[in-house]
Amino acid sequence: MQLTINGTAHEITGDPRTSLLDFLRHDCGLTGTKKGCDHGQCGACTVLVNGQRVNSCLTLAIMQDGHEVTTIEGIGTPDAMDPLQAAFVKHDGYQCGYCTPGQICSAKGMLAEAANGWASFVSEDLDGKVELSAEEIRERMSGNLCRCGAYSNIVDAITEAMSTQTAGAE
Amino acid sequence: MTRSLTMDRPDDRNRLDAMAQGVIGQPLDRPDGPAKVTGTAPYAAEYPVDGMAEGVLVTATISKGEVTAIDEQSVLSMPGVLAVISDQRMTARAAQGGAGEAPVQQVRQVQYYGQPIAVVLAETFEQARDAAKHLKVTYREDDDAVTDPHDPAAPTETYDEPIDQGNLAQAMAQAAYAVDVTYTTEGHNSAPMEPHASIAEWDGQTLTLHSSLQMLAYNQKELADSLDLAPEQVRLISPYVGGGFGSKLGISPEGVAASVAAMQLNRPVRVVMLRQQVFQCVMRRSETTQRLRLAADANGRLTGFGHEARVSNLPEEEFAEPVTQASEFLYPGEHRRLAIELARVNLMTAGSVRAPGEAVGMQVLESAMDELANAIGMDPVELRLRNIPDQHPSEGIPYSSRKLVECLKAGAERFGWDGSDRTPGQRREGEWWIGTGMANACRVHNINEAQARVTLSPDGTAIVASDMTDIGTGTYAILGQIAGEMLGLDPADVLVQLGDTTLPPGSGSGGSWGAASTGSAVFEACEAIREHLAEQLGTTEEELTLKDGFAIAGNRRVALPDLLAGAEVERTGHFKPGEITEAFAAAMYGAFFAEVAVNAYTGETRVRRFAGAFSMGRVLNEKTATSQCMGGMVWGIGSALTEELTFDARDGHLVNPDLAEYHIPVNLDVPHLDVVLVDERDPAGSPLQAKGVGELGICGAAGAINNAIYHACGVRVRSFPMTPDKLLAELPDP
Ligand code: FES
Ligand code: FES
């Protein structure tokens, strides 16, 4: 059984009870993905599976056969940060940093969802183009808890990264 | 070489403002930022250690009694299981902040539901968790457990010396306006996002523990004492801490369990608390019952002031939530009574949770002050302005710098406060009642002993080293900025090393004292280096300018590497609080302004706007200080609306021990937070003229929300959190 993590193939050989989260952290040494609750309640373990955001504590590694997983380590490095990561640093979108990889992976997935027109709880319109207002970002990022309370800055960071990306695309 | 300073007097020299580098206070990015946003900053459980066994704690399912048998055989045959340990050195509780000695051990004597009683070790986490769930434990249960803190039969004691001045009852009877109200607040959990975690390694002589801790110099002693080792035999490593908020002030049970297991198994052991265990067996903030008596004259000036609280804790714990801490000096009133009654209960340890005392004391006091303002018919800002004492109302000592007036004005202006008509129920938008409210912020200023070493290398870069921690507070950033300012260096050329007990003992992070205390130790070390450089240059420290890597005196300008000529300069600063702590009433102040919407049908409250103006002495980094204030305000929203520990009064078990049931604010619960930092220098605060900022943002915040709810819909909720059920029955006809 095999899955791809950040472009590298990994064999799944261990205990079938191993969550994707523990597989990443313990078996692959990819500790950038954090465990905050192990029960799908905090979002610290958010990774992208086939491009969609997933709580990696809520799925078993063996269920990911053939899937492509992207973790925070696959998004950027200290010397080559993704614009979203750079925006988190600039806006102080973190304090202790423990929820941060999950926030950033979640934001990646969230931006893709919005680009694909997915509506949210606060959307006025269920079809059509999604405008990511601050309110929309807040709602869509509400699965990622931050006990340090960096929410205001997280929204600012995502807003900035979004606008530079859009500007780049134009 | 060590340079010591015992702070007995204010330091009026204001040396930092006399420096030339211009980096102090600047909103610089945190140097630890890139590691945090890329997932490369290692937290306690994340060190790759070969041959590591995994441990999972087992916790008690009774509230009081004794473990009579642990059936090890029930799990030892399970795959991978190595051992079941229930050793007398293990700890049943976490140490209180600053204890410096072992907490209650005796894990087999059960004093609360959720108390650690054993640890199960296995080759993998999955195996250990499974075995821990299957372990058969037999108890003898006592029938005298006190599991309801409000139980009138609970044994109580008076905590500390109550303050009794004049005749409060008479002042209340003769007052032009009087408020006598009782509020309750429920218990809170720190709930840091990183669960408590430790990896222990024992080489037969030295125990090394990677752990998530706030106060390493104290934790080293606590762990050594628990294990009967000398402190020098214990090394703690904690460079990144995923939030603490008080819960990691003391050594916690998983660290001691991992250590005992590593010594017994002779191999490295990792124990990470499950989220439920973080809730059940670390620390809670006590629930409180608070009676406020405010007596005012016709002009709204307080003549009488009473604040009495009842809180709870386990037997043998000295800590009692210091609810009246800011009430001692924030407001006048010559007739005073302040008292705390401590009930002894069999519920998990009560201890420090972000801003112990003021977090819940201020929110209630500020709600009661709003009731007084309404009784008088006065703008609540005006009431605050009229009640600023000239000197400490009980001790007669002066205040150190106090910018409360400036905060009230700056906050009101930023928010666009209009306090002219406080009649509730005037504004309606769709289903929502809209209202505004305000509150003072106040938190005592603490300082703590601290050491830090600064090394100026021959190449003109510097290293700052201390066992101080950065728990998200920005320590890496601010210590680099202090050294950069003092030594004339770009902070990028200052490497800050923290979180290792092989480094000089810092103050630890807690009580908002970290920056002022360890920062002052860095400052002292830098002053000593400056003296040395001045001597080299043939001038005095006062005449020496250090800027951009150059030493300048008169018309001489020498690059640091040339001046150092291949030698490094190393100095240790040692900062100690002295008489200054008794000489002034020193505190941080601020003002909150909130706008809420209360749903006319459901009683749900949403915070729509939230502004705070704060003064904390010198701001060391505008960006991280602002973030600290924001974090506090988010906690204020949680304390106001959602956070409560719910215990089953029948057996004392915590009903909501996880993040699904204990509701901390999520992103959508928090509007854009508007923080104003009011310029201040406090010579009595520290040689940096800085005070603390980690807790101020919560102290009173929930009061502003309470007051805004009242203004919106006319319902005064005297029970925190203000959940919809508490509003529903009293809401006006929609
Ligand atoms: S660890 Fe997966 S949601 Fe919390
Ligand atoms: S940065 Fe600490 S929990 Fe979000």
Q: Which of B713, B37, B523, B116 is nearest to A100 (CA)?
A: B37
Determine, for residues A92 and B38 on separate chains, whether the beta-carbon distance falls below 8 Å: no
The count of domains in chain A is: 2
Q: Which of B363, B369, B362, B411 is nearest to B386 (CA)?
A: B369
Chain A residue with Cα closest to B129: A17
DSSP state letter for B711: H
Residue B304 to residues B160, B274, B292, Cα–Cα distance (Å): 21, 48, 10
One-letter amino acid at A42 equals: C
pLDDT at A170 over 60: no
Domains of chain B in sequence order: 2-41+447-577 (3.30.365.10), 44-145+190-281 (3.30.365.10), 288-445+586-728 (3.30.365.10)
Determine, for residues A147 and B243 on separate chains, whether the beta-carbon distance falls below 8 Å: yes
Tell me how far the alpha carbon of residue A152 lies from the centroid of ligand 2, in angstroms.
Answer: 12
Q: Please tell me whether residues A165 and A87 are part of one structural domain.
A: yes
What beta strand segments (E) does B37-187 contain?
A: 53-59, 65-71, 81-85, 109-110, 116-122, 136-141, 156-165, 177-185
Mean pLDDT along residues A108-123: 95
Query: Which of B33, B633, B658 is nearest residue A37 as measured by Cβ atoms?
Result: B658
Answer whether B577's CB lies under 8 Å from B687's CB: no
Answer whether B645's CB lies under 8 Å from B284's CB: yes
Tell me how far the alpha carbon of residue A148 lies from the centroid of ligand 2, in angstroms.
Answer: 4
DSSP state letter for B111: -
Which residues form ligand 2's pocket by a CB distance below 6 Å?
A: A 94-100, 146-148, 150; B 193, 243, 472
Q: What pLDDT, in 10s, does the model give residues B10-61?
A: 999 999 999 999 999 999 999 999 999 999 999 999 999 999 999 999 999 9
Mean pLDDT along residues B333-344: 98
pLDDT at A169 over 60: no
Confidence of residue B446 (pLDDT cuts 50, 70, 90): very high
CA distance A153 to chain B (A): 8
Answer whether B467's CB lies under 8 Å from B501's CB: yes
Q: Please tell me whether residues A64 and A128 are part of one structural domain.
A: no
- B216-227 helix and B253-265 helix, angle to the nearest 10 degrees: 50
Q: Please tell me whether residues A51 and A88 are part of one structural domain.
A: no
Chain B residue with Cα closest to A43: B193
| Three-class SS state of B318 | coil
What beta strand segments (E) does B418-532 contain?
A: 427-429, 432-444, 450-456, 462-465, 494-497
Q: Please tell me whether residues A96 and A157 are part of one structural domain.
A: yes
Q: Please tell me whether residues A21 and A70 are part of one structural domain.
A: yes
Residues in chain A within 8 Å Cβ distance of B33? 88-89, 92, 94
Q: Please tell me whether residues A69 and A14 are part of one structural domain.
A: yes
Q: What pLDDT, in 10s, does the model give residues B607-659?
A: 999 999 999 999 999 999 999 999 999 999 999 999 999 999 888 999 999 99
pLDDT at A80 over 70: yes
Average confidence score pLDDT of chain A: 95
Q: What is the pLDDT of residue A163?
A: 84
Question: Any CB–CB contact under 8 A between A110 and chain B?
Answer: no
Determine, for residues B272 and A35 on separate chains, whether the beta-carbon distance falls below 8 Å: yes
Closest residue to atom 3 of ligand 2, CA basis: A146
Q: How far apart are CA B212 and CA B210, in angstroms?
A: 7
Interface test mutation site (partner B, options A35, A75, A95, max chain B beta carbons within 10 A): A95
Average confidence score pLDDT of chain B: 97
The CATH number of the domain holding residue A24 is: 3.10.20.30
Answer whether B698's CB lies under 8 Å from B355's CB: yes
Question: Any CB–CB contact under 8 A between A83 and chain B?
Answer: no
Contacts of B18 by beta carbon, 8 Å cutoff, 6+ apart: none
pLDDT at A129 over 90: no
Determine, for residues A145 and B659 on separate chains, whether the beta-carbon distance falls below 8 Å: yes
Confidence of residue B409 (pLDDT cuts 50, 70, 90): very high
The CATH number of the domain holding residue A122 is: 1.10.150.120
Q: Please tell me whether residues A8 and A37 are part of one structural domain.
A: yes
Q: What is the pLDDT of residue A165?
A: 67
pLDDT at A127 over 90: no
Confidence of residue A166 (pLDDT cuts 50, 70, 90): low
Q: Please tell me whether residues A35 and A104 are part of one structural domain.
A: no
Tell me how far the alpha carbon of residue B240 lies from the centroid of ligand 2, in angstroms.
Answer: 12
Q: How far apart are CA B22 and CA B18, in angstroms?
A: 10
Residues recorded for chain B: 734
Query: Which of A37, A89, A96 is nearest residue B37 as measured by Cβ atoms?
Result: A89
Tell me how far the alpha carbon of residue A86 lies from the centroid of ligand 2, in angstroms.
Answer: 16
Q: Is residue B531 annotated as a catalytic residue, yes or no?
A: no
Catalytic member of B72, B194, B695, B730: B695
CA distance B645 to chain A (A): 16
Residue A140 buriedness (CB in 10 A; 0-12 / 13-18 / 19+): buried
DSSP H/E element including B587: strand B587-599
The total of other beta-carbon atoms located within 10 Å of residue B396's CB is: 8
Ligand nearest to the CA of A154: 2
Residue B452 to residues B212, B249, B405, B529, B621, Cα–Cα distance (Å): 20, 19, 36, 13, 19
Determine, for residues B659 and A42 on separate chains, whether the beta-carbon distance falls below 8 Å: yes
* Residue located via tokens 């729509």: B608
Q: Percent of chain B, pLDDT > 70?
A: 100
Q: Please tell me whether residues A89 and A150 are part of one structural domain.
A: yes
3-class secondary structure for B403-447? CHHHHHHHHHHHHCCCCCCCCCCCEEECCEEEEEEEEEEEEECCC
Q: Work out whether strand B2-7 and strand B569-577 pair parallel, antiparallel, or are unpaired.
A: parallel
Residues in chain A within 8 Å Cβ distance of B78? none
CA distance A72 to chain B (A): 6
Q: Work out whether strand B673-677 and strand B605-615 pair parallel, antiparallel, or are unpaired.
A: parallel
Determine, for residues B37 and A101 on separate chains, whether the beta-carbon distance falls below 8 Å: yes
Q: Please tell me whether residues A164 and A92 are part of one structural domain.
A: yes
Q: What is the pLDDT of residue B152?
A: 87
Question: Any CB–CB contact under 8 A between A85 and chain B?
Answer: yes
Interface test mutation site (partner B, options A141, A147, A156, max chain B beta carbons within 10 A): A147
Chain centroid to CA B624: how far?
16
Q: Please tell me whether residues A9 and A58 are part of one structural domain.
A: yes
Look at residues A42, A74, A106 and tell me which one is the last residue of a structural domain.
A74
Q: List residues bridging with A60 in a β-sheet.
A: A19
Q: What pLDDT, in 10s, does the model give residues B53-97?
A: 999 999 999 999 999 999 999 999 999 999 999 999 999 999 999
Q: How far apart are CA B291 and CA B428, in angstroms?
A: 33
pLDDT at B110 over 90: yes
* Residue located via tokens 């410096």: B100
Determine, for residues B38 and A75 on separate chains, whether the beta-carbon distance falls below 8 Å: yes
Atom of ligand 1 nearest to the CA of A37: 4
Q: What pLDDT, in 10s, does the model give residues B470-526?
A: 999 999 999 999 999 999 999 999 999 999 999 999 999 999 999 999 999 999 999
Determine, for residues B43 and A34 on separate chains, whether the beta-carbon distance falls below 8 Å: yes
Confidence of residue B162 (pLDDT cuts 50, 70, 90): very high
pLDDT at B388 over 50: yes
The total of other beta-carbon atoms located within 10 Å of residue A168's CB is: 8
Interface test mutation site (partner A, options B36, B475, B633, B659, max chain A beta carbons within 10 A): B36
Structural domain harbouring A99: 83-169
Q: How far apart are CA B191 and CA B635, in angstroms?
A: 11
Question: Any CB–CB contact under 8 A between A151 and chain B?
Answer: yes
Mean pLDDT along residues B325-342: 98
Look at residues A55, A74, A93 and tell me which one is the last residue of a structural domain.
A74
Tell me how far the alpha carbon of residue B544 lies from the centroid of ligand 1, in angstroms.
Answer: 54
Tell whether ipTM is more than 0.85. Answer: yes
Determine, for residues A97 and B240 on separate chains, whether the beta-carbon distance falls below 8 Å: yes
Cα A100–A130–A148 angle (5° rounding)?
A: 20
Q: Work out whether strand B288-296 and strand B302-313 pair parallel, antiparallel, or are unpaired.
A: antiparallel
Residues in chain B within 8 Å Cβ distance of A136? none
Question: Any CB–CB contact under 8 A between A67 and chain B?
Answer: no
- Record the tokens describing residue B291, joined without a space: 């009676």
Q: What pLDDT, in 10s, does the model give residues B215-236?
A: 999 999 999 999 999 999 999 9
Ligand nearest to the CA of B627: 2
Q: Please tell me whether residues A123 and A68 are part of one structural domain.
A: no
